[in-house]
Structure 1
Amino acid sequence: MGRNTRKRRTPLATKAIAASAALALGGGGLIWANFYASAHEKAPDNRTKRNVSQVVTIYCPDVGQKLRNVPDRARGEVDGELASMDQQITDAYQRLVTTRRAQAGDANFVQNSILGPLKDRRKVLIDRIKLQINRAGGKAPGNLDRLAGCTGRPAGGQSGGQNGGGQNDGQNGGGQNDGGQPDDNGNGVAGPVAADFIDIKDVPPNSRNLPNGLPANGDTGSTGTFTTECGTNENNLFNSDNLIAAPGVDNGAHHVHDYVGNQDNDAFSSDEDLANAETSCQNQGDKSTYYWPVLRLQDGTEEFDANDQGGGAEGNIGRILKPAQAELKFVGNKQGDVVAMPRFLRIITGDAKSFVNGTANANTSWSCTGFEDRQSTDKYPLCPEGSQVVRTSNFQSCWDGQNIDSANHRDHMAFVQADGSCPNGFQAIPQLQVKLVYDIPTPTIENGQVQNPYAVDSFPEQLHKPITDHNDFINVMDEDLMNQVVQCINNGEDCT
């Protein structure tokens, strides 16, 4: 199915997951072990189970977002340690969902057996990160140690605060059934749940409430567009790597991506590999890589990755849904002209960990065809008959003028401000807008459970929440094509 097969460097933590993953498989994914349906059911030793709030996921502060000044020669090692830290969270989450019986009998089990050891393991990696930064001539932040500890989050409204501060941002977790256990919709996977869906007609017009992802262009400034046609992943190029955030690490994303454009996308692809690769884009001068987490219909289908890491072994189950349409458009800036993007510029928009991190970097927009003035940020839309699901990502379009990447993969880019201008020191570049349209049977909700839900692939502990949607881009246009894009946009033309 188009998976890359080059030999991969795998974090040590990954090797430990195989055994626990085998225990966690049920119906193709992570199982919720609902051993006791009510607070009064007798445990096997005839003791009455205490009514303890069920922990459904794990929140860990995002260490990577706190790293601002990592010397170039230390970035590869630091990214590898951060990927190992993600693996640690995955391992801890696997243990969380396969030890429900022990948790039911011991209110301190999660802290003593899962969160405490996780903190110790994270502290080891944080120490390594600090050492690598300092050895390379940088200065590691002095407050990283306080990010080692993680917390368990109960069902119902759990979410992280802005920038990992742990404040509740009002999202509805909705992850319990009447027995106080996490809801698995009967398919063995935690999420999505009924509360993660909304009838598109119940979404108020013009109600999108995130600060990110504003359209950069308007009726003034640079008003042209450039659309590149790159297909909808007809070549079946899938993997669970993340070349931007976890280069050199197998399964660095812990969820599967669709790829269009560049056809040499895995964790080990160098800039030279990208430049020499084939492309699915009609304009062969565009070898850019465009990728996003796949959507799946949880209908019982066993995909090619049903037993693989990144797929079913990490709770990403069901039939992969390719877009019926993938529109990749570059637009201008309402304040003035745009400048060319540097080649190999990397941009991540949205946050794959928004459910626990909070919405500081979230950039989620869900809608339905015919209702695109109604945009949902933290709910999947239920579309009426004849309407299709729409995912839209408007990327950051202000560049610092110097760097193609940054230590946390964000600081070299910024969103336009409300008036369309860029922050001081940043330059306007063409804004990439990705619109994905899907033919999806509308899920039904019965007795508080959603039947045959669709969901975005996610890190296991993110519970397939729609707020975690994100999109990635590496510019690999040749110089002539990039100049054409800029000229079209600045001249107010619509080009392809």
Structure 2
Amino acid sequence: MGRNTRKRRTPLATKIVAGAAALAVGGGGLVWANFYASAHEEHGGHNRTRSAGAQVATIDCPDVGQKIRDVPDRARGEVDGELATMDSQITNAYQRLATTRRAQAGDSQFVQNSILGPLKDRRKAIIDRIQLEINRAGGRADDNLDELAACQGRPADQQQNGDGQDGDGQDGDGQDGGGQDDGQDQDGQNGDGQGQDDNGNGVAGPVADDFIDINDVQPNSRNSRNGLAADGDGGSTGTFTTDCGVNENNLFNSDNLIAAPGVDNGAHHTHDYVGNQDNDAFSSDEDLANADTSCQNQGDRSTYYWPVLRLQDGTQEFDANDQGGGAEGNIGKILKPAQAELKFVGSRQGDVVAMPKFLRIITGDAKSFTNGDANANTSWSCSGFEDRQVTDKYPLCPEGSQVLRTTNFQSCWDGQNIDSANHRDHMAFVQEDGSCPEGFQAVPQLQVRLAYDIPTPTVENGQVRNPYAVDSFPEQLHKPITDHNDFINVMDEDLMNEVVDCINRGEDCQ
């Protein structure tokens, strides 16, 4: 399978992460250790006594990027670069967490002293630079950003705390001692290569609890503050569907042009791209405007992208040893959608106005497992069961039913900006009655529906076999709640006006 091969520079931060990841690669993926310390262990057999205390499973850091406001335009590139470096620091710290389990078992303060403490210091230095860059550009940095420097360790069974800010203490003191080796636990699975919580594939997640039989989901029970459909019986009732394929051109990379422009591997996971064919971290608006498109309507050069789904079946993909791929725990066969429906709809409360060219929208949150669900959005379901939607579980679909990922984007624009400092504030979701918040106006709402043909995983004895999972930042453990979707509007003016007119006239166009 191919990938985006545009030559890009490799920043020092990426090289450092790659060096750390190289120590943690086994079987094409990031080596993972069990979530529980072992008080008694026989490496040659299967007898072992597990402690009742939960070991630190992942690293939970406050999301500085979502807290930043009012960054002057001329400082945004530098600030985004610093935030991407913070992401690399978390990835590096997580990799160290996952490869030092024996040392953690022998020292209850190892995680705090060797991982979380140094991470806090490094984050503090970057926060200081961010504040300086904002102030130099004529802005006024928030003096309280320093409070976001500290991270915590989260046990496997701990629920997301909503804001990730519980100080810098360690939640891993329930570890039983007994290990004196402070080297890396390269076998990762307590010696026999078959860990309880890695499904035997060498990476963390997904686990059995991340899946649910679609028949066990109650109809119309999804509780989400986001993702409301803007369209309805009143207002502008038309639709415009654009057909851009399912990434037949094999355009993949682990960049994030919106959140981390100019940063190689800014996403730390691989994206599918349809529409615009010049999508990487170094693409300018001019590049996007002049690029080819996979859309049938050549006036639509918009960028539509989302993290790939993978079947963890042992397949060695093109990125099996690369950053963003197997070196960061994203392993297995990349699954293309059988169908990708991209549809724009109207507003229940009235007409919509044209989107500005190069408007950027991120919906969902790639860090929802640690950030909490405030920005979680994408829904999971099965064909034939679309009244049953879940956000925090992968569905187990019956034979003949497709796995569905659906997303309703924010459709209220502030009328001025094509982006904002945290890449969210310039857009808003419709309110319960379909209207936009004060100061915002309705634009066509993008709705994305992806359908996949995936063999149904089996769950036996608390383990899931042959799971599928969304690519994620390593510390997010492939949780379904981290699914997200991205869009950059690069429709030409005539086509955007056609989209608006069609929707406002109540017609169905394509």
TM superposition score normalised by structure 1:
0.94
Q: Does 1:70 align with 2:84?
A: no
Aligned-pair CA distance for 1:20:
1.6
What displacement does 1:43 show?
10
Return the offset for 1:15: 1.5
Matched, 1:304 2:318: yes
Q: Given that residues 155 and 182 in structure 1 are in contact (C-alpha distance below 8 angstroms), is that contact kept between their aligned partners in structure 2?
A: no
Structure 1: which amino acid aligns with 2:132?
L
Query: SS at the partner of 1:486?
Result: helix
Matched with 2:170 is none
Q: Does 1:274 align with 2:288?
A: yes
For residue 377 of structure 1, what is the aligned residue in structure 2? Answer: 391
Q: Give 3-state SS (helix, strand or coil) of 1:39's partner.
A: strand
In the alignment, the residues of structure 2 paired with residue 422 and residue 148 of structure 1 have an alpha-carbon distance, to the nearest angstrom, of 35
Q: Return the offset for 1:453.
A: 0.1
Native 8 Å contact 1:159 1:356 kept in 2: yes
Partner of 2:275: 261
Conserved? CA contact 2:10–2:264, under 8 Å: yes
Residue 52 (structure 1) shift = 4.8
- 2:35–2:57: 8 Å Cα contact kept in structure 1? no
Indicate the SS of the match to 2:485: strand
Superposition map of 1:439-458 within 5 A:
439-458=453-472
**Are 2:131 and 1:130 aligned?**
yes
- Out of 397, 400, 409, the residue aligned to residue 411 of structure 2 is 397
Query: 1:172 matched to which residue of 2?
Result: none
Q: Provide the C-alpha distance between the structure 2 equivalents of 1:233 and 1:25, rounded to a whole number of angstroms.
A: 28
State the aligned residue count.
483
Q: Following TM superposition, by how much is the alpha carbon of 1:122 offset from its aligned partner in structure 2, in angstroms?
A: 0.5
3-state secondary structure, aligned to 1:103 = helix
Q: Is the 8 A contact 2:396 2:457 kept in 1?
A: yes
1:300–1:50 Cα change, 3 Å? closer
Quote the residue 2:14 is aligned against: 14
Compared with structure 1, are the counterparts of its residues 272 and 38 closer, same or farther at alpha carbon in structure 2 (3 Å cutoff)? Answer: same
Give the deviation of 1:155 after TM superposition.
Answer: 1.2
Q: 1:62 Cα deviation (Å)?
A: 0.2
| Counterpart check, 1:237 vs 2:238 | no
**Could you tell me whether the CA contact under 8 Å between 1:33 and 1:101 is conserved in 2?**
no
Q: How far 1:404 sits from its partner (Å)? A: 0.2
Q: Secondary structure at the match of 2:59?
A: strand
AA aligned opposite 1:141: D
3-state SS in 1 of match to 2:376? coil
The corresponding residue for 2:39 is: 39
CA separation in 1, counterparts of 2:238 and 2:164?
38
> In structure 2, do the counterparts of structure 1 residues 123 and 165 end up closer, same or farther at CA, with 3 Å as the change threshold?
closer
The residue number in structure 2 matching 1:171 is none
SS across alignment from 2:40: coil
Query: Where do residues 62-141 of structure 1 align in structure 2 (5 Å cutoff)?
Result: 62-141=63-142
Q: Which segments of 5 or more consecutive residues in structure 2 lack a partner in the other structure?
A: 168-188
Contact 2:34 2:197 in 1 (8 A): no
What aligned pairs does 1:68-467 form with structure 2 within 5 A after superposition? 68-161=69-162, 163-165=163-165, 183-467=197-481
Deviation at 1:12, TM superposition (A): 2.7
SS of 1:17's equivalent in the other structure is helix
Partner of 2:175: none
How far apart are residue 311 of structure 1 and its match?
0.1
Change (3 A) 1:360 1:165: farther
Q: Is the contact between residue 349 and residue 434 of structure 2 (CA under 8 Å) also seen in structure 1?
A: yes
**One-letter amino acid matched to 1:380:** Y
Q: Whole-Å Cα distance in 2 between the matches of residues 211 and 50 of structure 1?
A: 38
- Using the alignment, how far apart are the partners of 1:450 and 1:43 within structure 2? 24
Say if 2:37 and 2:55, in contact at 8 Å, map to a contact too.
no
SS in structure 2 at match of 1:208:
coil
Instruction: Name the structure 2 match of 1:471.
Output: 485
Tell me the amino acid that sits aligned with residue 447 of structure 1.
N
The 3-state SS of whatever aligns with 2:39 is: coil
The 8 Å contact of residues 37 and 50 in structure 2, kept in 1 or not, is answered as no
In structure 2, the CA distance between the partners of 1:307 and 1:271, relative to structure 1 (3 Å rule), is same
**Structure 1 residue 274, shift from structure 2 partner:** 0.3
Taking a change above 3 Å as real, the CA distance of residues 389 and 42 of structure 1, as seen in their structure-2 partners, is: closer
Q: Contact between 1:315 and 1:460, CA under 8 Å: does it hold in 2?
A: yes
| Rounded Cα–Cα distance in structure 1 between residues aligned with 2:283 and 2:161 | 33
C-alpha distance in 2 between matches for 1:226 and 1:34: 48
Q: Which letter maps to 1:17?
A: V
Distance 2:11 2:111 in 1: 25
Hey, what does 1:486 align to over in structure 2?
500
Matched residue, 1:173: none
- Closer/same/farther in 2, CA of residues 70 and 451 from structure 1, 3 Å limit: same
Query: How far off its partner does 1:9 sit?
Result: 4.2
Q: CA, structure 1 residues 246+427, in 2 after alignment: closer, same or farther (shift >3 Å)?
A: same
Which residue of structure 1 aligns with residue 3 of structure 2?
A: 3
Matches within 5 A, 1:21-60: 21-34=21-34, 38-41=38-41, 52-60=53-61
Fraction of identical pairs, as percent:
83
